[in-house]
Amino acid sequence: MTEQQFDSFFWGRGFRSVNVNAAGIRVYQSGSEGADGCFLVLTYFTGGAHSLTREQQENVSRQICGAYERESRGPVQLLNIVVTEEPAKARLLFAEGERFWVVDEVGSRLMLYEEQGDFCGLKGPLEKAVFELGNPEPERENKMPVSRILRKSICNIMLIAVNIFVFLAAELWMDQENAWLLYKRGALAAENVAQQHEYYRLITYMFLHGGIDHLINNMLILWFLGNHLEGQAGHLRYLIFYFGTGILAGIASMSYNIIIERHVVCVGASGAIFGVVGAVAANILLHRGRVEELTARQMLLFVVLSLYGGLTSQGVDNAAHIGGLVAGLLLGFVFLRKSVKKEKDSGNRDGRE
C-alpha cells in the first residue's frame, strides 16, 4: 500500500492526519477524543527508500507520546504499523509489549505477532484492503453483456423497433417515397398543424421514413448514441429528450417552411436523433469534455460532418436537424446538470474525512 492509499483508508474511517517532519512516516489520530483516545503511527520503509532503525522508531514514538501527554489529552494508545517487503526484520524494531502490525507487501497480508488484538476496529478492514490491493481482480473485457444492454437501453431499443415496424408495415401497403401517401399516414405538414390543429403530426412524422437508406442511416446513429444517452440519463429523461427534441425540431421545420412559403411534407426521426446528439454533447461538456469512450472533439466532428452532409444534399430538412440539435443541447444542460452535480458531490464526500 502506498502512503496515499493509507491516507484514504484512515480518512474514510474518521481518522485525521497529523503532520510530522519525518520522511516516510504517516501519523493519524482518531477522530473521537476522550479518556481512551486513539493515536496511530504508520512507518514505511520499502527496499531502502526509507530505512528505519530501532533507535529512530523509539525516538519518534517518544516524541509523539510526549507531545500529547504534555497537552493533557489523556493517555496515548499507540499502534505502530510497518509496511515492508521484509516482515521478519520488522519485528526487530519493537520491544516486547509494544503494539505493532506489519504489512507484508510481498505476501499482501497483514501480520500481527504475539496474539495482538484489534485496535479501533481496524484489523479486519485493513486486512481486506491490503489483500485486495495486492491481489486486484483481473481486468474484465470492456464488453457489456447483452442482457445489461437490454436493461439499460430498453426505451431506445423499443423506439428503433417501432420505427422498423412502421416502415415494414408501410412497405406492404404503400410506396414510402410517395409524398401523398406519406402525408396521409401522418407526415409533418405546416398548414395542417398550424391551421387545422393536427398536432399529432408532430409525433407521427418521427416514425415515417422516405426509403430504406433513410431508415438505416437514422437507426444506426440512434442505436449508438441513443443507447449511450439512455444509460447516462435514465429511461424517463431519455424519452423526454427524444420526443421533446423531436417535437421542437418539427416546430423549427414548420416555422422555416412557413417563413419561406414552401409547401412540403417532412418525415423521419432525424430531428429527434439530432436532439439526442445535442443531449449527448451537453453531457460530455458537463463532464469536462469526456464521458466513457466519447470526447468533445469526437462529438464536434460528428455534428459538423452531419450538418455539412445535410446542407450539401437535396431533400434534407436542415431546419429540423438544427432545431433538434439546439433543443437537445438546451434540454441536456437543464436535465443533466443536477445528476452531474450529484456525481461530483458524491466523489467529494468519498475523498474527505
Q: Annotated active-site positions, please?
A: 270, 321
Strands 77-84 and 38-44 turn out to be: parallel
**Grid coordinates of 187:** 407526415
57-71 burial: b if 16+ Cβ within 10 Å, else e: beebbeebbeebeee
Q: Cell 437543464 belongs to which residue?
A: 334
Instruction: Determine the distance from the C-alpha atom of residue 344 to the mean position of all C-alpha atoms in its chain, rounded to a whole number.
Output: 10
Task: Judge whether 322 and 252 are in contact, CB under 8 Å.
Answer: yes
Number of residues that make up the chain: 353
In angstroms, rounded to a whole number, what is the distance separating the alpha carbons of residues 322 and 312?
14
Cα–Cα nearest to 156, from 234, 212, 97, 72: 234
Looking at residue 323, its amino acid is G
Task: Judge whether 150 and 161 are in contact, CB under 8 Å.
Answer: no
Beta-carbon count within 10 A of 140 CB: 6
In angstroms, rounded to a whole number, what is the distance separating the alpha carbons of residues 217 and 47?
60
